Every structure is written in C-alpha cells, then in structure tokens.
Structure 1
Amino acid sequence: MTNKQSILAKIPVIFFEEGDKLIAYSPALDLSTCGDNLEQAKKRFAEAATIFINEASQMGTLEEVLAECGWQKTPSGQAWTPPLYVGQLQEEIEIPAVR
C-alpha cells in the first residue's frame, strides 16, 4: 500500500540459477536475494526491496541511495524515475584457464 507521498515504480529484476537456488537481482537497487523457486525468490525480493527502501528512508539516505543507483528526480522534484535498461546481451569474453 502506498501513502500520498509514495510513488510506484517498475524496476527490472533478473532471475538466474546459482546451484540449487534461484537468485533475484535488480540493478536498479543493486539488491539481490534468493529462493528455492521463482515464486519464493519473487516474494523474498519484494520483501527485501521494501525493507531496503524503508530503512534508507528512515536513515535519511534514500535520495543518496537512489542517485547512486542511477535514479533521476523528476522535473517537479517530487518523485524519482528508475534507470531505464534497454536490453540485455550475451557478450563473449575470454577467461584464462585455472591452473
């Protein structure tokens, strides 16, 4: 639920497997968590994001945190816009052999 001073924002969340866990990561908040399946990872990410935002707000560092994550204040200065991610590519890199 939001109050009249809150904004709703849609942010990208990337899900990937790591061992037997599913990782949920959002570059828009530089925040991650995990779960045993997609539903659990989604639920835990929503909980972690809420805690993260609320704690930063209570500490008085929310604006600094959002700016460091690439968010921009709207022209009115009353709201924030998350960074826009335009795509995801698979780039080939060379990794030296481990000896």
Structure 2
Amino acid sequence: MVKIEFDIFVFKEDENYIAYCPELDISSCGSTIEHSKEMLKTAIRLFLEEAEKMNTLEDILDEANYKKDAKGKWLPPKLVATEFAGL
C-alpha cells in the first residue's frame, strides 16, 4: 500500500469528535480525539487500498493535488493558513 501524509482536523459535535482529512475529503468519528483520529486513519487506509485495487489511486491523488517527488513519494498539498473568522 502507498504511504501518504495528510492533515487531520478534529471537531467536537455534541459528545463525539469528528476527524476530517481535507486533502481526501474523508472523515470519521470517535468518542475521544484520539479514537476519532485512529478511525480516520483506518478509513483512509481502506480507501487507499480500494483505490489501489481499482487502479484509480494515482488519479485520485493527482486530483487531490498530491505530487510525486523524484523518489516516487507522494507529497501532500501544503496547508498555508487557517483562520477562525466571523461576520
């Protein structure tokens, strides 16, 4: 299986925590922050395994703006800012 890096954002909704990967638009949940992050990693691993089986993984990563370096490692798009804003 291909190894990739990704961002994880965690939100609290009522009594649950939602972990979200913006690069792949995948989320999962858990009863604690750590549990939600582990569940997200599992969801991403399963997603990547299925995409690999279907021979669509490179297309998906390209569409998500991942780039391959000279050694063939997939590099994620860089998060350059985050802000909490209101109107």
TM-score range, shorter chain: 0.7 to 0.9
AA aligned to 2:42 is: E
The offset of 1:20, in angstroms, is: 1.8
CA displacement, residues 18-56 of structure 1 (integer Å, 9 cap, x when unaligned):
122100001122110000111211211111111011111
Does the Cα contact within 8 Å between 2:7 and 2:21 map onto a contact in 1? yes
Residue of structure 1 in register with 2:75 after alignment: 81
Q: Which has the higher contact order (CA 8 A, sep 6+)?
A: 2
Does the Cα contact within 8 Å between 1:27 and 1:69 map onto a contact in 2? no
Runs of 4+ in 1 over 4 A off after TM superposition: none
Q: What TM-score results when the alignment is normalised by the length of structure 2?
A: 0.86
Residue of structure 2 in register with 1:96 after alignment: none
Does the Cα contact within 8 Å between 2:5 and 2:75 map onto a contact in 1? no
Gap runs ≥5 in structure 1 = 94-99
Matched residues, percent identical?
A: 32
CA displacement, residues 69-93 of structure 1 (integer Å, 9 cap, x when unaligned):
111122x372321111022112224
Q: What TM-score results when the alignment is normalised by the length of structure 1?
A: 0.77
Gap runs ≥5 in structure 2 = none
AA aligned to 1:47 is: T
